[in-house]
Structures are given as C-alpha cells and as structure tokens.
C-alpha cells in the first residue's frame, strides 16, 4: 500500500543527498576504485576516531564483525558465550556458527541485558559476553565491567564483544558504543543511522593483535603487502570500497541525523506520555546518551494498534514477534525468559528517521491517541 508515513523512506533520503552520492559514485566507478582502496582506509580512520578506539576495520556486515571477533579470539567448540535472546538472530547465529554455545539471559525494561542475571550465567566454560546495545541505547557497561573484573581477579579471562549494530553514536558515561569491549561490532545496513547502499559493517578494537587478525580474516588471509603474502585461511568479508566512499559522505551528516532522531523521540514522548499504560523508551539515567535507531513502545493490544495504524496509512514494524529460542529448529538448550516473552507480545516500532517531518510525527501521535481514546 501507499503509506502516508513510511517506516523508512529510502527514496526521500536519496533525493536529498543525490548530487553528492552521484559525484562520488561516478568518480570511483570511472577510476575503478572498487576493492580496498583509499576510501575504505579513510573510513576506517574516521570510524576509529568517532568510536574512540585505536583501530577499525571495514567488513561487509555486522554479522561478520561478530563472527570474526569470535574467530580472532579463538572461541569455538566447548566454549560458551553469554548474550540475550532479545536481539536479531544474527547475534546468536555468530556464536553458533563459530562452534560455541550461546547462553541466553533475560533483559531489563530498557530492552538490554539484565546485569543482575549475568553473574549466575557465567560458568568455567564462559569465554565471552556479548552485550547487545539495542535500539540505539547502550547496556550498563559499568556493571558489566565490574563483573568481568571480578572473574578475572579469580583467574578467568572473559572477553567482551559489543554488539553495537544498532548503537553507533550512542554513549555511556561519555564513551562511545564499541569502545568498551575487546571488540565493537557495527552494521551499516541501509536502514541504520549510518547506512550504505547494501550490506556493510565494521569492527573496532584497541588491540593491535586482534586488528591484524581481522585484517587477515576478512580477506582470504592475505597480508596487504606488495607481495600479497598468504598468512592463513580467511573469509571474503571486506567492505566494498564503493560503500566506504558513500559512508564517508554520510559521516559528515551523522551528528545532525542523531540530533534529529532525538528531536523526534522527544516529540513522541511529549505527545504520547498521556496515553495510559503505554510504555515509552525514555529512561532517567544521565549516564546514557541514546541515539534512537528505533523508537520502540510497549503497547496494550499491540496487534490491534498495528492494524489501526496500517489503516491510517502509518507503516510500523514488529521486530520481535517471538523469542529466537522458540523456533522449533533451535538446537541449544535454554531456560524460558519471562521478560523477553512479555516484550515480544507488546513491542511495536514507530517511524523514526531524519527526513521524517514534524507533521508526520504528529499524525502518528494522533493516530495512536485516537486508538486508545
């Protein structure tokens, strides 16, 4: 259907920045700058500076950032990695496809890992914790850091792999998502705050050894020296140079886009705070700087609300219809997670992107209020 308010409006975004995009595309394509050229090197430098790490490597997806993190840390069969079920399946798949066992724990009211449950999930087999910074909000990295240190003081090394695919630009105590862990993992899927024209990702780290391993793992184990020395088996997971060039253009506008998302989120908050029993994604804690990649509300009669908004011409998404562990093919043992299951019955994402107008936000707000009137 032709929506009055789209969930994401790719054509509107393209039209706004088309001249800059076309200039870059024509230049790079006319010169054949396609694979591992200056644009990706510039993008990696820009990414490391933005996140606050020493190194960054461009990859072809956020999944590859997670998967190669595990490979670089030699995590595999016999090892356990703790993460949450309330995430896109790719987070869990990266662990499973590395040969390790995902251990799933529940989340809190902000949709992120419940740190009070983390300690009891750690076993002698735990090699890593994968906090997922969901919807543009970071996990409590203070609490996580204290837990990891407590176990390290007892002699158990536990790595932290940040799944920051939805949280580029988010901060906790003024430190960027992706700068706390052994690695930080980002996605540049088109709908992200910083998105390319297809698939893209990046991995950040302060560890030079990990950085060098990722350099090899992402491109067939080839060292980028004049002789193209083969050092190991690797994958084909490098970010396309064309995508890096587009992302470098978009980086100029990133802070502006985050500011606009925060404006829209505040407009939603003011407009919807009077609706009884509607839970909005605003949390009182000055340690956090949220970037609102998604604006996710918890709504009574969620499915009926979605139908109502569709009839009004407002496109919404329900990303978490069911826990990942509830699939009949899910191969790992698990404990039911009551908060995750409750969230799956309640959440719905409202439109939020920089090109969304105030009038479209207000139209959405009024439609929600009309439903609950």
CATH code, domain carrying 340: 3.90.1150.10
79 and 222 share a domain?
yes
Tokens of 230: 């083969």
198 CB contacts (<8 Å, ≥6 apart)? 190, 240, 243
Domain-embedded: residue 3: no
245 and 263 share a domain?
no
| Overall size of the chain counted in residues | 373
What is the CA 94 to chain-centroid distance, rounded? 14
Residues of the chain with pLDDT below 50 are none
321 and 361 share a domain?
yes
How high is the pLDDT of residue 261?
98
220 and 347 share a domain?
no
166 CB contacts (<8 Å, ≥6 apart)? 132, 133, 134, 135, 136, 187, 192, 293, 294
Paired residues of 314 in beta bridges: 5
64 and 164 share a domain?
yes
How high is the pLDDT of residue 78?
97
Sign of CA dihedral 142, 143, 146, 152: negative
Domain-embedded: residue 137: yes
147 and 80 share a domain?
yes
**Where a domain ends, among 251, 279, 314?**
251
78 and 199 share a domain?
yes
Domain-embedded: residue 109: no
Domain-embedded: residue 2: no
Domain-embedded: residue 229: yes
Domain-embedded: residue 5: no
Instruction: Give me the domain span that covers residue 67.
Output: 11-103+114-251
243 and 300 share a domain?
no
58 and 176 share a domain?
yes
How high is the pLDDT of residue 229?
79
CATH number for position 182: 3.40.640.10
240 and 267 share a domain?
no
**Where a domain ends, among 251, 267, 294?**
251
63 and 83 share a domain?
yes
**Where a domain ends, among 202, 224, 251?**
251
Domain-embedded: residue 51: yes
Domain-embedded: residue 53: yes
Count up the domains in the chain and report the number.
2
How high is the pLDDT of residue 24?
97
d(CA 50, CA 68): 21
289 and 143 share a domain?
no
pLDDT digits (tens, 9 = 90+) for 235-264: 999 999 999 999 999 999 999 999 999 999
């Amino acid at each position: 259907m032709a929506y009055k308010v789209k969930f994401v409006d790719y054509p509107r975004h393209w039209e706004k920045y088309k001249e800059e995009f076309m200039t870059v595309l024509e230049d790079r394509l006319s010169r054949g700058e396609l694979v591992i050229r200056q644009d990706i090197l510039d993008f990696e430098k820009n990414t490391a500076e933005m996140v606050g790490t020493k190194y960054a490597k461009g990859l072809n997806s956020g999944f590859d950032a997670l998967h190669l993190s595990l490979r670089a840390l030699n995590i595999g069969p016999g090892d356990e990695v703790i993460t949450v079920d309330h995430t896109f399946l790719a987070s869990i798949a990266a662990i499973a496809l590395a040969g390790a066992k995902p251990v799933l724990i529940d989340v809190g009211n902000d949709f992120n890992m419940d740190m009070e449950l983390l300690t009891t999930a750690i076993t002698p087999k735990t090699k890593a914790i994968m906090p997922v910074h969901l919807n543009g909000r970071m996990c409590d990295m203070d609490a996580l850091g204290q837990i990891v240190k407590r176990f390290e003081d007892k002699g158990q090394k536990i790595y932290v792999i940040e799944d920051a695919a939805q949280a580029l630009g988010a901060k906790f105590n003024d430190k960027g998502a992706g700068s706390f862990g052994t690695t930080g993992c980002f996605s540049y899927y088109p709908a992200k705050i910083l998105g390319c024209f297809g698939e893209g990702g990046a991995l950040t780290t302060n560890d030079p050894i990990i950085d060098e391993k990722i350099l090899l793992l992402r491109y067939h184990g080839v060292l980028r020296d004049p002789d193209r020395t083969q050092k190991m088996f690797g994958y084909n997971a490098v970010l396309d140079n064309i995508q890096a060039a587009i992302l470098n253009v978009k980086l100029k506008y990133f802070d502006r886009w985050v500011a606009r998302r925060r404006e829209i989120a505040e407009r939603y908050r003011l407009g919807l705070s009077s609706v009884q029993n509607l839970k909005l994604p605003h949390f009182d804690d000055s340690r956090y700087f949220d970037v609102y990649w998604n604006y996710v509300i918890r709504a009574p009669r969620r499915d009926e609300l979605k139908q109502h908004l569709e009839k009004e011409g407002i496109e919404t998404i329900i990303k978490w219809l069911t826990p990942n562990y509830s699939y009949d093919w899910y191969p790992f043992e698990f404990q039911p997670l009551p908060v995750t299951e409750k969230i799956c019955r309640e959440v719905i994402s409202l439109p939020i992107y920089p090109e969304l107008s105030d009038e479209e936000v207000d139209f959405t707000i009024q439609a929600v209020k009309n439903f609950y009137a």
